[in-house]
Structure formats: structure tokens, C-alpha cells
Amino acid sequence: MPTRTVTVGATSGLHARPAALFVAAAAAQSVPVTIRTSDKPPVPARSLLSVLALGAKHGTEVTLEADGPTADAALDALATLLARDLDSDDESPDHG
């Protein structure tokens, strides 16, 4: 099963706005994706409450995992998104 490990780039971590952007991107993928931190079990990346419950702060390493024919592309897209500072309007998907 493909995985990607990425460091959270959002300056405030995966709080409400960055988490919502990430969850929306995960929901748009054609395969289910899970996300986890080193100290918590995997949760569905499409669940805002589950992603918020991870408590991932800026600099936290998270692991994404997916299975299916488009898993690698989905993980690459989500890892790229998580590595960015989602708190910056210039880098949000709606403005760039």
C-alpha cells in the first residue's frame, strides 16, 4: 500500500481552515486516504473532525496512506498540499 510522509507546512498546523482545505482535497480523490501522526492511529482524510483530532501542528510529520489504482497520484497531490502553508491566501487553492 503506497504511503507518503510529509511535514505539515501550515504555520498554525492543521486547524480549521487548513484542515478543511485538506479534507476537501482528500474528498476529491478517487481513492480513500488515511492520515496519521506518529502517536495516533490512522483516520479517514475525508473526515474533518478526525483530521482536527490529530492535533497536527506546524512541523508535525504525518503519514498518508491509500490503496487503489490512483493511490500514488492522490498521495502526491495531498502531500504537496500539506507541505504548503495553507494559512497563506496566496497559496490557497482558491487563489492560485
Cα 49 versus chain centre, distance: 13
- Pairing state between β 33-37 and 3-7: unpaired
User: Is 15 tagged catalytic?
Assistant: yes
Q: Which of 2, 11, 15, 77 is catalytic?
A: 15
State how far the Cα of 83 lies from the Cα of 96, in Å rounded to an integer: 15
Gyration radius from the chain CA atoms:
12
CA-closest candidate to residue 2, choices 63, 70, 66: 66
Residues marked active site are found at: 15
